[in-house]
Amino acid sequence: MSNPIKLCLLWHQHQPYYRAGNEFLMPWAWLHATKDYLEMAEHFERHPAMHATINLVPSLLKQLEEYISPPPSPGGGRGVVDPVIALMSKPANKLTASEKEQMLDNFYYAHRERLIERSPRYKELFEAAQGPNREKRFALPDYRDLAVHYSLAWTGEIARGREPFRSLIERDRDFSEEDKQTLARAQMENVRRIVPLHQELAKRGQIELATSPFYHPILPLLIDTDTAREAMLDVELPKNRFRAPPEVENQIEQAQKYFAEKVGSNLNGMWPSEGSLSTEALSLIRKKGFEWTASDESVLANSLAGTTIPAGEKQIRPEHARFFPWRFDTASGEITIFFRDHGLSDDIGFRYQDWNAEDACNHFLHNVLHIRSELISAYGEEILEIACISVILDGENCWEYYPNNGLEFLDKFYSMLTTTPEILPVTFSEMLASAKRENLPLLPSFVAGSWINANFSIWIGHPEDNAAWDALFATYMAVEKKRAKAEQLNGADRAEAFARIAEARAELMVAEGSDWCWWYGDEHFSAQKDVFDELYRMHLREVYRALDLPVPEDLSIPIAGRFSENAQPAKYGAMQPVSSGALVK
């Protein structure tokens, strides 16, 4: 039989850290947990021959842990709570007028066609909530039904076929308070299963687990914001040059420590936040013991600049470069980099959602087999020993746009990949174990970039982004100055000072995450942009409070919209419904 082409599939599972004090300000970690994180693992149970890599970001895992076993609050109260999720279970006859308003604001935040209109009753409730005086059209039974349907809408398709979900879906209306409690317990049980199921799949060798820096920072920019100029020569940078390699090391070390404690799986690879890499970032990743990492083919193209590179006795053409793992020499040793096929990955993430599942899978199959044939034609069949196709994308965000949460597509997709002799799905570590390392091509240099446009324009360059970086710079410098002073102390004073600094650094780590600047600027829209803005500035304010320093007045002023001609102060408050689908991160 002819050699197969190896396919390395990676699902990236991430949510920013939504906690503020003892509350989650947004429910997306929970909602994607009940709809996607368990289900994506369950698909591998249904297809035991399928091998792939799942990247779990610690900022997500930490939130799941806090949902299922919330730490107690300092005053001995309820611990961490999610007000939106709590409303799903609260008896309708105890809801305040404000809470009813919150439900009508928040409980339609779902894709209208795929998640709302699939239920006649949920569609009816959605239509009743439009226009003025909506509260007059809702009685207590309507609020009960709304709570159940919002939870059911964010339930994975595989779970929807089990009890108690199936019976509730079939009934569709007239739910009781007992039904709400039964549903809440079942959802909690599903969330509790997420990490154990991933552990079991990894133990079987069916999936490889990877991770990212703890709070998902853009590593090259955290190391040095001037790195942005490698791919954006004319970028307008922040006033202050931010350079903090130790922060990168801390983000990586804390991710490794948390993963070891909570998941217990060996980590060979890291998906860097947003596929963002630079020469310095690669060195730090390798320094922490990772053997492989990954980015986008566009970053590889910039790094190669059209050159032909030897791989063993072969000369790799630029148009085929993305079909190989690349060795790269860093100051910390050699690391292997995989580069995602942008087209194949985006087909799954964006293109196939409106296709018939069989047509979509056949289209994907045709493209993969065409790549295999092209490689064999150009280099001979022996090239398949070191060639692979990397498909990397978010593992949760696209499925609400697919019919039935992508169930039919993923079933056919995994069946196709595991029954086509010319394709072998493998993990990234399995790929490296099967190839002779010395035959892999060696990348002579690396141009920094991300998996979006091969640059960092999403996170730096816009006045809002730059203002956020300058605020981070000032906060980081405040921590460093306190640290320098603490070094001069002794005894109890020194211990207390460093305890405060540790508390401040914990907040600083959250603020270093990529998701805050994702929403600054003009590139992306979210009805919760003001909430993201508030969360970012809140974490910076908490750094100053932990250090017992005055909080800069600027951190009380929204960054979002600050530079618009007709800018208005952002209203920080409840999530708003959108009829065309949730634009969430």
Residues 6+ apart with CB under 8 A from 126: 108, 112, 116, 117
Mean of the pLDDT values across residues 561-573? 53
Q: What is the pLDDT of residues 279-310, one digit of tens each?
A: 999 999 999 999 999 999 999 999 998 777 76
Measured distance CA(271)–CA(210) in Å, rounded: 7
CB 472 within 8 A of CB 239: no
Question: Residue 541 pLDDT more than 60?
Answer: yes
Tell which residue, 74, 122, 82, has the closest CA to residue 102.
82
Tokens of 211: 């991770």
Taking 70 as the threshold, does the pLDDT of residue 574 lie above it?
no
How far apart, in whole angstroms, are the C-alpha atoms of residue 218 and residue 170?
Answer: 45
CB-CB contact of 337 with 431 (8 Å): no
What pLDDT, on the 0 to 100 scale, is given for residue 560?
92
Q: Percentage of the chain surpassing pLDDT 90?
A: 89
User: CA 497 from chain center: how many Å?
Assistant: 34
Which of 112-121, 220-229, 432-441 shows the lowest per-residue confidence on average (mean pLDDT)? 432-441
What is the pLDDT at residue 575?
Answer: 24
- Rounded CA-CA distance 151/35 in Å is 9
Q: Coil, strand or helix: which one is 509?
A: helix
Identify whether the C-beta of residue 585 lies closer than 8 Å to the C-beta of residue 28: yes
Give the whole-angstrom CA distance, residue 459 versus residue 197: 34
Distances (CA, A) of 423 to 304, 367, 495, 532: 27, 12, 58, 42
Answer for the pair 237, 226: CB distance below 8 angstroms, yes or no.
yes
Q: Do β-strands 333-340 and 5-13 pair in parallel, antiparallel, or remain unpaired?
A: unpaired
Six token digits for residue 284: 């730090």
Amino acid at 344: L
Spatial CB neighbours of 261, under 8 Å, sequence gap ≥ 6:
none
Tokens representing residue 286 in the block: 């390798």
Query: Whole-angstrom Cα distance, residue 78 to residue 71?
Result: 8
Return the axis-axis angle of helices 120-128 and 140-153, rounded to nearest 10°. Answer: 120
Predicted confidence band of residue 405 (pLDDT cuts 50, 70, 90): very high
- Whether residue 30 is predicted with pLDDT greater than 90 in this model: the reply is yes
**Type of residue found at 11:** W
* pLDDT of 1 above 60: no
Rounded to whole angstroms, the Cα distance separating 186 from 344 reads 36
Per-residue pLDDT tens for 39-94? 999 999 999 999 999 999 999 999 999 999 877 766 655 678 999 999 999 999 99
Q: Is the dihedral of CA 274, 278, 284, 289 positive or negative?
A: positive
At 524 the pLDDT is 84
Residue 563: what pLDDT?
85
For residue range 334-373, what is the model confidence (pLDDT) as tens digits? Answer: 999 999 999 999 999 999 999 999 999 999 999 999 999 9
- Residue-wise pLDDT for 472-524, tens only, equals 999 999 999 999 999 999 999 999 999 999 999 999 999 999 999 999 998 88
Q: Is the per-residue pLDDT at 247 higher than 90?
A: yes
Residue 57, both tokens: 């970001």
C-alpha 446/C-alpha 461 separation (Å) is: 22
CA end-to-end distance (rounded Å), the chain: 44
Asked if residue 576 lies in contact with residue 102, where contact means CB atoms within 8 angstroms, the answer is no
Q: What are phi and psi of 269, to 5 degrees?
A: -130, 160
Backbone angles phi, psi at 56, to 5 degrees: -110, 120
**Best CA proximity match to 215, nearest among 415, 462, 505, 549:** 505
Q: 568: pLDDT confidence band, cut at 50, 70 and 90?
A: very low
Taking the domains of the chain in order of start, what are their residue ranges? 78-194, 215-243+457-585
Mean pLDDT, the chain, whole residue set: 93
Are 344 and 367 spatial neighbours (Cβ–Cβ below 8 Å)?
Answer: yes
CB-CB contact of 251 with 215 (8 Å):
yes
Distance, in Å, from the CA atom of 160 to the CA atom of 154, rounded to the nearest integer, reads: 10
12, 13, 14, 16: which is closest to 513 by C-alpha?
16
Torsion angles phi and psi, residue 392, rounded to 5: -135, 130
Helices within 308-427 (DSSP H only) = 342-346, 357-379, 407-419
Cα–Cα dist 20/34, whole Å: 22
Residue 406 φ/ψ, nearest 5 degrees: 80, 15
Question: Token digits for 47?
Answer: 């297809």
Determine the residue type at 290: F
pLDDT in tens, 328-339: 999 999 999 999
